[in-house]
């Protein structure tokens, strides 16, 4: 695949995107493939400028434009340095517990363990402590209803029996007389931090609180949660502080459905959740937790779910989700505040999460988020139930907020196939809504790489022992090395040559002016030793260059001309030796722990210098020599990452390390199909290294000008960082040329100082923060000074400045990135995307084992095995069970589900009676009734509604229903649909498991017209149920079975039946329709279903009332759960409707 020559604006403009922050489309042209130097705007040929030593100054107008463009940077010397981190930790939050179960996981011991850890590590004293406050009712009402808040307030006066009775109406909660006050205090704690961060009292903060909050919904408790703290905080920030865009990141192992439901129509809040899902088998068992849920209306695209479908997910999986999904979307969304629902139950050892993430991994996630929103980041504690893991996870994140370097990951590796599959699905769902996620049409197709013999692990993996993290104590954070003597190298024949002495002096003046130099530890420079130079250069070359010190002007000119793009003066050797030695000094300081990171303001540059030749302004390869010096003083082949972001390819560095797997060299540069300096094919993406070093040379070759922040950050997210984390370097060296900066006369590109700061920040998560920036090119004095200052400030721990993207990435640049990814997929597993053939299958048979829990969710249907011939004539089979299965939920409750019908026929079924003799759940009873009995199992005259498939029902579909595509969809499938229904049919479903024969049954293609099943109320489609082809001789017998939820957290919304009773013949109150009407169980208004005029769906969206009853078949649908529900609490209204409809009591109503 070759780079595309033109930005594909037509396809982008055709996309339906709701993001109000999308940049205008760019229609610029990038060089056409195969034509050297072709393009609308080509930069001057570098070899001409360098060899002739001539360059025209920027015009005063252009220079002034550049200065004006940089004035928005917050780099002024008077900028206030904020205290770093605020902390809210109040002992009052421990004053509630479960009165009836001492072993309940959510208890006061969680905060005790955290406090002990923070005291042990001295973190409490390093934070700015804030007093917790109680959230006011008006603040809670930003998310919750007043009626619900008042109900919770009354719990302060209830006795234990009353508390337990109320708690039992919710899912996985307990209540205590102090629960309400503590929940108010927890919400208020987060609001206090919002005020502090947005009021510029602190940079970031953490609220160590309980109870958690992210499951709490508008009018109900759920999953240990009473009030949704981060949701309230987001609305509070918008209302009080005028914040327009809030990012909520939820890394708790359970999906924060309460937060999602609060904002799923709102484009001002971007919600990202990464959670255990296991195809819906893990709590809260909602289809809304899957990747396909992206929001509704204007909020579509602003809900992001990354569902993990296996346990044992590791740091590499979580980091990949951030790099591939969250950070790119956040970059386009541009949040002004980041709130984190910080549950730590994904840490290894947690009994609920069963994941294998480490505290160091959560430090990495925290660091990645600190680059957003100008560093305005607040973590709010959610779950975490292994006390040691919880305490160490909180500690690691707090260390990172305080600016401590991220610990190295023990074995980051690459994301597992299951994670890659989930990420591919999420990206596919989001791509229509976000420009930054657009990928070239010829994208990655799978993870099988030709010639790659390595077997990939499938996981899950047994978690290793929890590592003990070490946090360094540093004398200073950032080292700075500079020596004025390096200005003695100059061009004797042309004082306007771009590589001029003023480059370094002006950078230093700017660092001093901004007070940044004073914040650094200034290190003395020294010349590189002969031995150090010989690690990368030949003795003959070093001697040749030393000899220039005594040459005359004419000899120097002749010697200069013998190299490519070089000038030499008598001081050149000493300056080059000093630049290389200064870089080695900085390496020594970092490896000795004297400083964490550093900046080397040195010249002449070095990355073009070959082993035996000067090239492109470069004499000694400072970064290469420093890398070898680091390995020498460490005593082993230290893993070193060299990132070269100079706009020119670092040919010298590439050649020095091309056979060495201990040094990973990544270069991003203009290539222009071989026409950009240093010319030739050395910088092409096909150059990957040689022998043992194959795969350790990575080239991203830009084929045109105007590359800017968007393109570089996409390259970072998709390529540079995935490879870097997999490599896991022990030291990072950056060949930091700034000639890709906006306004540079040689680069012709558009990187901003803010962009460079973000690139630096993202690299700082590697190698325990040991990163050194070494100046290479950059020839606009203003832009290099501002860019170096922005990078230095970031190294010092200041948050990167806000970055606003002016446009989407250029398609030619995206093609270059994709080409490099394709080349390197054979070497790096982190680059292998998964092609998922059957993404939307909720439960495949392979995933259901005796150990795996059955789903208690709307998509929890199982395959039905039916006898040959007419199923009624043959008889209704008895349900048999191979084993019962428990569902893993927060309260360790059991949730029982459905069904296997075997060929074990009974004589009773042949007469039209179907009673399953398996012990059943009362709550799972489903009633299918008619006013008239049939004989011999014949079809009955009572039609079934479109929603009836949400219950465990058997529907015989005539063959015409699968072929007559012209008939309007007035019923579950096309055509006049007869129903297989028996008078007084009652199916009581127990907890059953598929037998092997049912598990092995083949998959069937679902006809398009049958996707209408289950959607009449605005709910699930056929994929939420299971379609089974009868195993008879005819292909026309199709059956559907869906298990209703035996319990729903929204049952509290069901109100008493009005005194006037029910009238099942009542028409829709909006349109007067008499068919497919539904009854709202909160206000008892009647509206038509989705396939009439969808007035009930509109009523739900306007009122928020969750539960509705079908007047056709008496099934009950919950909009919030996206599932059918059958529970004891619904029997009164069902009985009343049945009595009104048929004039008789509902049989077997209990």
- What amino acid positions are annotated as catalytic residues? 215, 608
CB 255 within 8 A of CB 284: yes
Residue whose C-alpha is closest to residue 49's, from 663, 499, 697, 508: 499
Residue whose C-alpha is closest to residue 769's, from 745, 794, 746: 794
Q: Give, for 1141, the enclosing helix (H) or strand (E).
A: helix 1131-1142
Name beta bridge partners: 697. Answer: 665
Q: Give the rounded distance of the alpha carbon of 215 from its chain centre.
A: 19
CB 435 within 8 A of CB 22: yes
The CA-to-CA distance between both ends of the chain, in Å, stands at: 66
DSSP 671-735: -GGGTSTT-TTTTSTT----GGGTTSEEEEEE-SS--BHHHHHHHIIIIIHHHHHHH--SEEEEE
Q: Give the rounded distance of the alpha carbon of 437 from its chain centre.
A: 12
Helix, strand, coil percentages (3-state) for the chain, rounded to 5, are 35, 10, 55
Name beta bridge partners: 775. Answer: 736
| Residues in CB range of 484: below 8 A, 6 or more apart | 505
Residue whose C-alpha is closest to residue 855's, from 994, 737, 998, 743: 994
∠ at Cα 196 (194, 199), nearest 5°? 100
Taking residue 795's Cβ as centre, other Cβ atoms within 10 Å add up to: 29
E-strand stretches of 313-465 = 337-342, 377-381
Tell how strand 521-523 and strand 476-481 pair up: parallel
Is the bond preceding residue 460 a cis peptide, omega within 30 degrees? yes
| Residues in CB range of 503: below 8 A, 6 or more apart | 603, 775, 778, 779, 781, 784
| Residues in CB range of 57: below 8 A, 6 or more apart | 63, 496
Taking residue 247's Cβ as centre, other Cβ atoms within 10 Å add up to: 25
CB 197 within 8 A of CB 394: no
Question: HSE-up of 98 (CA within 13 Å, CB side)?
Answer: 16
Give the whole-angstrom CA distance, residue 811 versus residue 714.
12
Q: Give, for 329, the enclosing helix (H) or strand (E).
A: helix 327-333
What torsion, rounded to 10 degrees, do the Cα atoms 565, 571, 575, 577 define?
A: 90
Give the whole-angstrom CA distance, residue 364 versus residue 873.
63
Give the whole-angstrom CA distance, residue 493 versus residue 499.
13
Tell how strand 1038-1041 and strand 1026-1029 pair up: antiparallel
Is the bond preceding residue 284 a cis peptide, omega within 30 degrees? yes
Cβ density class 309-344: b for 16+ within 10 Å, e for less = bbbbbbbbbbbbbbbbbbbbbbbbbbbbbbbbbbbb
Question: What does R_g of the chain's alpha carbons equal in angstroms?
Answer: 33
Give the whole-angstrom CA distance, residue 773 versus residue 1138.
76
Q: Give, for 987, the enclosing helix (H) or strand (E).
A: strand 985-988
Is the bond preceding residue 211 a cis peptide, omega within 30 degrees? yes
């Amino acid at each position: 695949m070759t780079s595309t020559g033109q930005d594909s604006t037509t396809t982008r403009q055709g996309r339906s995107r709701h993001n109000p922050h999308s940049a205008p489309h760019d229609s610029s042209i990038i060089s056409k493939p195969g034509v050297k130097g072709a393009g609308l705007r080509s930069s001057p040929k570098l070899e001409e400028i360098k060899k002739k030593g001539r360059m025209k100054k920027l015009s005063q107008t252009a220079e002034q434009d550049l200065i004006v463009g940089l004035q928005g940077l917050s780099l002024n010397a008077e900028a206030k340095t904020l205290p770093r981190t605020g902390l809210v930790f109040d002992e009052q939050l421990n004053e509630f517990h479960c009165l009836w179960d001492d072993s309940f996981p959510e208890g006061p011991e969680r905060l005790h363990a955290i406090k002990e850890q923070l005291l042990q590590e001295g973190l409490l004293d390093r934070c700015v402590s804030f007093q917790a406050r109680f959230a006011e009712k008006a603040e809670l009402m930003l998310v919750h209803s007043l009626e619900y808040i008042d109900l919770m307030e009354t719990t302060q006066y209830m006795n234990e029996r009353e508390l337990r009775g109320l708690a039992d109406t919710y899912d996985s909660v307990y209540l205590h007389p102090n629960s309400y006050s503590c929940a108010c205090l927890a919400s208020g704690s987060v609001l206090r931090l919002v005020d502090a961060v947005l009021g510029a009292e602190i940079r970031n903060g953490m609220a160590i609180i309980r109870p958690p909050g992210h499951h709490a919904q508008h009018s109900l408790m759920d999953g240990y949660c009473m009030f949704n703290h981060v949701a309230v905080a987001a609305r509070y920030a918008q209302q009080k502080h005028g914040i327009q865009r809030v990012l909520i990141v939820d890394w708790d192992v359970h999906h924060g459905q309460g937060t999602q439901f609060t904002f799923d129509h709102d484009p001002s809040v971007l919600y990202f959740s990464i959670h255990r899902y296991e195809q819906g088998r893990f709590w809260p068992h909602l289809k809304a937790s899957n990747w396909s849920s992206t929001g509704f209306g204007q909020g579509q695209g602003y809900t992001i779910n990354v569902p993990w479908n296996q346990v044992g997910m590791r740091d590499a999986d979580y980091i990949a989700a951030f790099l591939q999904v969250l950070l790119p979307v956040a970059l386009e969304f541009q949040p002004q505040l980041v709130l984190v629902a910080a549950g730590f139950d994904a840490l290894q050892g947690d009994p609920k999460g069963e994941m294998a993430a480490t505290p160091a991994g959560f430090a990495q996630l925290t660091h990645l988020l600190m680059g957003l929103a100008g560093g305005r980041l607040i973590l709010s504690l959610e779950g975490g139930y292994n006390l040691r893991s919880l305490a160490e996870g909180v500690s690691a994140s707090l260390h990172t907020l305080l600016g401590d370097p991220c610990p190295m990951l023990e074995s980051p590796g690459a994301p597992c196939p299951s994670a890659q599959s989930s990420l591919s699905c999420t990206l596919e769902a989001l791509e229509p809504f976000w420009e930054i996620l657009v990928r070239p049409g010829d994208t990655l197709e799978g993870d099988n790489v030709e010639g790659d013999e390595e077997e990939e692990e499938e996981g899950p993996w047994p978690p290793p022992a929890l590592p003990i993290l070490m946090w360094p104590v540093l004398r200073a954070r950032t080292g700075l090395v500079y020596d004025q003597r390096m200005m003695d190298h100059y061009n004797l024949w042309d004082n306007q040559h771009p590589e001029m002495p003023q480059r370094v002096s002006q950078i230093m003046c700017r660092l001093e002016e901004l007070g940044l130099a004073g914040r650094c530890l200034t290190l003395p420079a020294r010349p590189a030793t002969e031995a150090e130079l010989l690690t990368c250069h030949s003795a003959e070359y070093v001697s040749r260059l030393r000899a220039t010190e005594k040459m005359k002007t004419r000899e120097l000119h002749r010697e200069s001309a013998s190299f490519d793009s070089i000038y030499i003066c008598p001081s050149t050797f000493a300056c080059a030796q000093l630049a290389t030695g200064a870089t080695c000094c900085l390496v020594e300081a970092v490896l000795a722990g004297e400083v964490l990171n550093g900046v080397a303001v040195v010249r002449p540059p070095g990355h073009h210098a070959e082993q035996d030749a000067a090239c492109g302004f470069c004499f000694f390869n400072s970064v290469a020599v420093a890398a070898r010096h680091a390995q020498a003083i460490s005593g082993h082949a230290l893993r070193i990452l060299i990132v070269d972001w100079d706009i020119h390819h670092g040919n010298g560095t590439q050649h020095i390390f091309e056979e060495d797997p201990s040094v990973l060299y990544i270069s991003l540069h203009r290539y222009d199909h071989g026409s950009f300096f240093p010319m030739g094919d050395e910088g092409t993406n096909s150059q990957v290294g040689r022998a043992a070093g194959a795969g350790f040379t990575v080239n991203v070759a830009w084929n045109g000008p105007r590359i800017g922040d968007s393109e570089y950050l996409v390259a970072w997210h998709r390529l540079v960082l995935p490879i870097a984390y997999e490599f896991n370097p022990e030291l990072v060296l950056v060949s930091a040329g700034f000639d890709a900066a906006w306004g540079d006369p040689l680069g012709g590109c558009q990187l901003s100082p803010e962009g460079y700061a973000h690139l630096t920040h993202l690299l700082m998560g590697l190698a325990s923060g040991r990163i050194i920036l070494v100046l290479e090119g950059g020839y606009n004095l203003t832009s290099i000074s501002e860019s170096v200052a922005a990078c230095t400030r970031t190294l010092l721990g200041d948050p990167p400045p806000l970055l606003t993207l002016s446009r989407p990435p250029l398609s030619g640049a995206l093609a270059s990135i994709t080409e490099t990814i394709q080349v390197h997929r054979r070497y790096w597993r982190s680059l292998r995307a998964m092609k998922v053939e059957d993404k939307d299958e909720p439960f495949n048979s392979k995933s259901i084992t005796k150990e795996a829990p059955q789903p208690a969710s709307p998509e929890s249907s199982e395959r039905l095995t039916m006898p040959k011939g007419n199923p009624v004539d043959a008889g209704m089979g008895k349900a048999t069970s191979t084993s019962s299965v428990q569902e893993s939920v927060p309260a360790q409750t059991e949730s029982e589900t459905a069904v296997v019908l075997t060929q074990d026929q009974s004589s009773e079924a042949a007469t039209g009676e179907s009673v399953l003799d398996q012990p059943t759940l009362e709550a799972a009873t489903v009633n299918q009734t008619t006013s008239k009995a049939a004989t011999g199992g014949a079809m009955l005259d009572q039609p079934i509604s479109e929603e009836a498939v949400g219950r465990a029902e058997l529907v015989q579909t005539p063959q015409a229903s699968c072929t007559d595509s012209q008939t309007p969809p007035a019923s579950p499938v096309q055509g006049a649909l007869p129903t297989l229904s028996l008078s007084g049919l009652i199916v009581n479903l127990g907890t059953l498991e598929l037998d092997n024969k049912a598990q092995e049954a083949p998959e069937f293609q679902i006809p398009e017209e049958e996707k209408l099943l289950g959607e009449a109320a605005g709910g699930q489609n056929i994929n939420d149920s299971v379609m089974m082809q009868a195993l008879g001789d005819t292909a026309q017998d199709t059956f559907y079975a869906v298990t209703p939820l035996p319990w729903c957290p929204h049952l509290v919304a069901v109100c008493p039946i009005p005194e006037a009773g029910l009238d099942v013949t009542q028409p829709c109150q909006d349109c007067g329709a008499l068919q497919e009407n539904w009854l709202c169980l909160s206000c008892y208004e009647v509206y038509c279903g989705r396939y009439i005029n969808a007035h009930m769906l509109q009523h739900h969206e306007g009122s928020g009332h969750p539960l509705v009853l079908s007047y056709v078949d008496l099934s009950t649908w919950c909009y919030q759960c996206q599932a059918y529900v059958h529970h004891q609490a619904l029997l009164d209204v069902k009985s009343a409707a049945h009595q009104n409809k048929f004039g008789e009591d509902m049989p077997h109503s209990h």
